[in-house]
Amino acid sequence: MLTFAVFGAGCLMRPLGAIVLGWLMDRVNPHLVLAASYTLAGLFIAAIGNLTATPWLAALAVFGAGFCVSGSQVGANALSAAFYPTDCRATGVSWANGVGRSGSVVGSIAGGAMLTAGMTMPALFMTVGVPAVIAGVSMLMFGLFRGSQSHAGPATPLIERTASR
């Protein structure tokens, strides 16, 4: 019953993460917000495997992971819409979402393979958290790259800015 309660409450963190991160992205550099959120998500995910002996701490890690992962995904969708020029925005965002969906399929297969290989819970969750940290670093680098393109405003898609050179 406790497991259902923890995961049910974790589902409540998803929309809260989207709302809070969206609010922050409107006020602070959205790349930095997403970089911090993805990195925190990786740390929370890694913590889940190390906190199995303390259920209330594991529950906090699940809540944090749900908040950060889901909020970041919603924020990344919003940010990707600003990346593409208007004439190909729907296609670009759809392709980005499709690639993301294929990642969830590959991730499920990889998770099953890690369990079959007999990985310990701490090692498994640490491994699963690494891609989120990589996403955080990637988002930070992307934000730094876009920030160096100072001749255009922040809402100007990168492709349009590159083409205007």
pLDDT band of 113, cuts 50, 70, 90: very high
Q: What is the DSSP letter of 28?
A: S
- How far is it, in rounded angstroms, from Cα 136 to Cα 71? 13
- Inter-residue contact 59 to 134 (CB < 8 Å): no
CA angle 28, 135, 3 (to 5 degrees): 95
1 within domain boundaries: no
Domain of residue 102: give its range: 15-25+32-81+90-145
164 in a domain, yes or no?
Answer: no
Q: Please write the tens of the pLDDT for every residue from 71-90.
A: 999 899 888 888 888 888 89
* pLDDT, mean of residues 41-55: 93
Query: Residue 2 domain-assigned?
Result: no
Structural domain total, the chain: 1
* In contact, 91 and 38? CB cutoff 8 Å: no
Task: Report if residue 163 sits inside a domain.
Answer: no
Q: Is residue 102 part of a domain?
A: yes
Judge whether 6 lies within some domain: no
- Would residue 106 count as lying in a domain? yes
Q: Is residue 20 part of a domain?
A: yes
> Phi/psi zone of residue 27: left (φ > 0), alpha (ψ -120 to 50 degrees), beta?
alpha
Beta carbons within 8 Å of 135's beta carbon, 6+ residues apart: 38, 42, 72
Question: pTM of the entire structure?
Answer: 0.81
